[in-house]
Amino acid sequence: MCGIIARIGGNDGAVDELLTGLENLEYRGYDSAGLAVKNGSGPEVVKREGEISHLKEALADEVPDGGLGIGHTRWSTHGPPTDANAHPHTDCTGDVAIVHNGIIENYDELKSELADRGHEFTSDTDTEVVPHLVEEALDDGDDPETAFRRTIEKLSGSYAVAMITSHDHAVYATRRGSPLVLGVSDGEYFLASDVPAFLDFTDDVVYLDDGDVVVVEPDGHRITSADGERVDRAIRTVDWDPEDAGKGGYDHYMLKEIHEQPAALRQTLRGRADPATGEIHLEDFPPGTFEGVKRVQFVACGTSYHAGLVGAQFLSEGGVPAQAFLASEYATAQPPVDEETLVIGVTQSGETADTLAALRQATASGAPTLAVTNVVGSTAARECDDALFIRAGPEIGVAATKTFSSQVVSLALLGERLVRDVTGTRTDGARERLEALSELPGHVQQILDYTSARRVAAEYRDSDAYFFIGRGSVFPVALEGALKFKEISYEHAEGFAAGELKHGPLALVTPDTPVFAVFTGRNDEKTLGNVKEAEARGAPVVAIARGDADGARQYADDVLTIPDTHPDVAGVLANVQLQLLSYYAADLLDRPIDKPRNLAKSVTVE
């Protein structure tokens, strides 16, 4: 949600590198873009509603280059997408330029006070109060850093803020509840909401903590706490290549990332499981790590929540009480939490606001916490007691694909470790399951090579609605299939536990509502009964099933085939077919697949 980029270094080059950063942040979702560049005098601001291409057109004549600047992609919260509401925002004098992610909760009060003191506002945003507060502090005689600090102290809410002024040659930035990372290169520094923004220029990063204030100048950077005390943050090298964050010849990031799943899964599995012996080797979780755990709670949102549902089912079947909660509902649900409750936050970015809030609540209740995330150095990874990284590599498309597969596999391995530590025994069929996991990358590749998802998507293109059903561990896969379909095709799609179809949703089934049924080799006869109910109402049925699933083939109108594998692993393969189905359905409808309307890759407000 929104994206910040800042660059400082040399006497020119800022505009091109800021634009590259903004384009690399498009995946986060936005409806306007802008930048401010300092080229000897005050910051010169250009901003436009709409895509970055509109900003480029405006920049052709308006702004000379400089060595220092800030940029922003905005996803509207306060006020509609307009040129005036786009960032950066300035004070009355134009000497201060600010970009901001998040929400300033007390902006109404601050804006009213500033207006009473004569400040004039030109936008509907909460952000605009920030440069005006800095302006007042500068008028009081403060230097820019002190003015910045005094301003931040007055803000309530979540934010990442970056500022430049006409008074010096530096970028000032801070974060609270919204991600911000520093990129370090020879003679150049960058600040951004996410690493891919500056990955073209450097892979050396510094992850900032909440409350950190960073001052970046051409010859170095300095980080202090909210109290002004100097703090050291390590420089880390990310193992992502700029090409990893590009389309690589694919029409869309989503399709590229679907096709990256074999490689991502190999990374997830590498060194962690030995099918020959049935042993688990999680790098930071040796045998006995979880011996004191009595119950497990997963907190997550969206696709990560569906992965958490799979993880909870696996643990429950292994004898460890487990539940999955929507992170946004966790505070309301108020489940029992104590030092014997392990709370696992599943979050691709490690920055999801609702998930972070749930984890913090668990910590305050005395529970140990663990993050399952894709991003080393993310807030979740730093704040939790432990972290398990899914190793999926950068994911740019808003619709999560390879990260879901890697989350499910990571949770299967983590679940096996938990079951062994808590119960003292292996799960039934552990060796066979690990063998199936080791074969998963090759099986996914088979699906990618031979899928008929494009044909099936075309066959049912003009349907009224789309239903997805599954039982047990593939009920979450049905939910995930429906989520992918609706978020990128904009068509009505719903996921149901197969047995629930007859308890209400069957009233909606017609010949124009295809039903996609997932079969795993376990409880298939019951799912087949639900398929017959839908078929009796005239609905076409598409089975996602193994090639030898005769029952499914007999009653289905179409089949999306998955390789023969362990029932606990079949859901990952079925999900790949459903990802492809959603992609091709959206492509046929000419939807903006990588940037679906109203959605953002990283949701950093509650």
CATH number at residue 106: 3.60.20.10
Of 226, 244, 262, the residue at which a domain comes to its end is 244
d(CA 411, CA 371): 11
Question: 439 and 457 in one domain?
Answer: no
Q: Which of 394, 429, 447 is the last residue of a domain?
A: 447
Residues 308 and 441 in one domain: yes
Kindly state whether residues 158 and 135 are assigned to the same domain. yes
Higher-scoring residue by pLDDT: 76, 347: 347
Residue 274 lies in a domain: yes
Residue 301 a catalytic site member: no
Catalytic entry in 47, 256, 486, 601: 601
Identify the pLDDT of residue 63: 67
Query: What mean pLDDT comes out for the span 178-201?
Result: 89
pLDDT tens for 331-352 read: 788 888 999 999 999 999 898 8
> Measured between alpha carbons, how far is 387 from 491 in angstroms, rounded to an integer?
36
Query: What ranges in 429-539 are assigned the alpha helix state H?
Result: 430-450, 453-459, 475-489, 524-536
What percentage of the chain reaches a pLDDT higher than 90? Answer: 62
Neighbours of 261 (CB within 10 A): 27
**Lowest-confidence region among 162-176, 286-300, 354-368, 423-437:** 423-437
pLDDT in tens, 504-535: 888 788 889 999 999 987 877 888 888 888 78
Query: Cis peptide before 88, with omega less than 30 degrees from 0?
Result: yes
Asked if residue 237 is part of any domain, the answer here is: yes
pLDDT band at 268 (very low <50, low <70, confident <90, very high): very high
Q: Are residues 433 and 468 in the same domain?
A: no
The answer to whether residues 154 and 115 touch, using CB atoms and an 8 Å cutoff, is no
- Bridge partners of residue 558, in order along the sequence: 542
Return d(Cα 71, Cα 192) in angstroms, integer: 9
Mean pLDDT lowest among 119-123, 423-427, 459-463, 479-483: 423-427
Mean model confidence pLDDT for the chain: 90
Q: Could you tell me the pLDDT band of residue 92, with boundaries at 50, 70 and 90?
A: very high
Phi, psi of 504 (to 5 degrees): 135, -60
Residue 283: band (very low, low, confident or very high) from pLDDT cuts 50, 70, 90: confident
Dihedral pair phi/psi, residue 474, rounded to 5°: -105, 5
Reported confidence tier of residue 327, pLDDT bands at 50, 70, 90: very high
Same domain, 236 and 293: no
Nearest to 399 by CA among 255, 245, 300, 299: 255
Q: Could you read off the pLDDT of 530-562 as tens digits, one per residue?
A: 888 878 788 899 999 987 666 677 778 899 999
2 is catalytic: yes
How many whole angstroms separate alpha carbon 270 and alpha carbon 41? 53
pLDDT category of residue 393 using cuts at 50, 70 and 90: confident
Residues 330 and 211 in one domain: no
Q: Please give the average per-residue pLDDT across 157-172, as a whole number.
A: 92
What CA–CA distance (Å, rounded) separates 601 from 352?
10
Within a domain: 602: no
Cα dihedral sign, 331-335-337-340: negative
Domain annotation covers residue 598: no
**Residues 341 and 379 both lie in one domain:** yes
Number of domains in the chain: 3
d(CA 599, CA 601): 7
pLDDT, position 71 = 92
Residue 274 pLDDT exceeds 70: yes
For residue 240, pLDDT over 80 is answered with: no
pLDDT at 37 over 80: yes
Res 6: pLDDT: 93
Please return the burial class of 432, using the count of CB atoms within 10 Å of its CB with bins 0-12, 13-18 and 19+: middle
- Together in a domain, 392 and 498: no
Q: If pLDDT is split at 50, 70 and 90, which confidence band does 419 have?
A: very high
Give the separation between CA 491 and CA 483, rounded to whole angstroms: 10
User: Active-site residue among 2, 256, 301, 595?
Assistant: 2
Q: Domain range spanning residue 529?
A: 453-588
Domain-terminating residue out of 447, 469, 499:
447
Question: Which of 20-34, 70-84, 121-135 is the most confident on average?
Answer: 121-135
Residues 189 and 279 grouped into a single domain:
no
Res 550: pLDDT: 65
Cα separation, 442 vs 131, whole angstroms:
54
In a domain, 595, yes or no: no
User: For position 529, which CATH number holds?
Assistant: 3.40.50.10490
Phi/psi region, residue 13 (left: phi>0; alpha: psi -120 to 50; beta: rest), is: left
Q: What is the pLDDT of residue 76?
A: 76
Is residue 72 situated within a structural domain? yes
Is the domain of 383 the same as that of 487?
A: no
Residue 400 placed within a domain:
yes
Average pLDDT over residues 458-462: 94
pLDDT of residue 604: 53
Within-domain flag for 235:
yes
Measure the CA–CA gap between 537 and 333, rounded to whole angstroms: 38
Instruction: Say if residue 316 is in the same domain as residue 222.
Output: no
What is residue 162's predicted lDDT score, i.e. its pLDDT?
95
Residue 62 has pLDDT above 70, yes or no: no
Predicted local distance difference test score (pLDDT) of residue 524: 78
- 568-602 per-position pLDDT tens digit: 999 999 999 999 999 999 999 999 998 888 776 55
Residue of 65 and 496 predicted with greater confidence: 496
The backbone torsions φ and ψ at residue 63, rounded to the nearest 5 degrees and listed phi first, read -125, 120
pLDDT at 272: 93
pLDDT above 80 for 288 = yes
Pair 433, 457 in one domain: no
